[in-house]
Amino acid sequence: MGLFDWFTSTPDNVTVLDDMIWLTKPAKFQGIRQMVARLLAEQDRPHTILLVAHFRDCLDELQEIRESVTSSRPMIVSTADTLQSTRPSTISSDETHPWHIIVGERHPLLSCDDAILEFARRLPGHSRLVFHVSLQDPLMRAFRGEWVEGVLKSLGMADDEAIESKMVARRIKAAQQKLAGQCLTDYPADSAEKWLKRTDPESGPASRMALTL
List pLDDT tens digits, range 163-201: 877 777 777 888 888 887 777 567 688 998 888 887 654
pLDDT at 200: 57
Q: How far apart are CA 178 and CA 40, in angstroms?
A: 38
> Higher model confidence: residue 181 or residue 35?
35
Of the pLDDT bands very low, low, confident and very high (cuts 50, 70, 90), residue 7 is very low
- Could you tell me the pTM of the whole model? 0.83
Question: Domain map of the chain by residue range?
Answer: 2-212
With cut-offs at 50, 70 and 90, classify the pLDDT of residue 72.
confident
How many alpha carbons fall within 13 Å on the CB side of residue 128?
14
What pLDDT does residue 59 have? Answer: 97
Most confident range (mean pLDDT) of 40-44, 111-115, 161-165 is 111-115
Q: Are 204 and 196 in contact (CB under 8 A)?
A: yes
Find the radius of gyration of the CA atoms of the chain. Answer: 17
**CATH 3.40.50.300 describes domain 2-212:** yes
Beta strands, E only, the chain: 14-16, 20-22, 48-53, 75-79, 99-103, 127-134
Under 8 Å between Cβ of 117 and 4: yes
Identify the sign of the CA torsion 63, 17, 91, 106: negative
CA distance 203 to 190: 19
Q: What is the pLDDT of residues 73-110, one digit of tens each?
A: 778 999 999 987 777 666 655 556 789 999 999 999 98
Q: What is the pLDDT of residues 120-171, one digit of tens each?
A: 998 887 899 999 999 889 888 876 656 677 777 776 778 888 887 777 777 7
Mean pLDDT of 208-213: 38
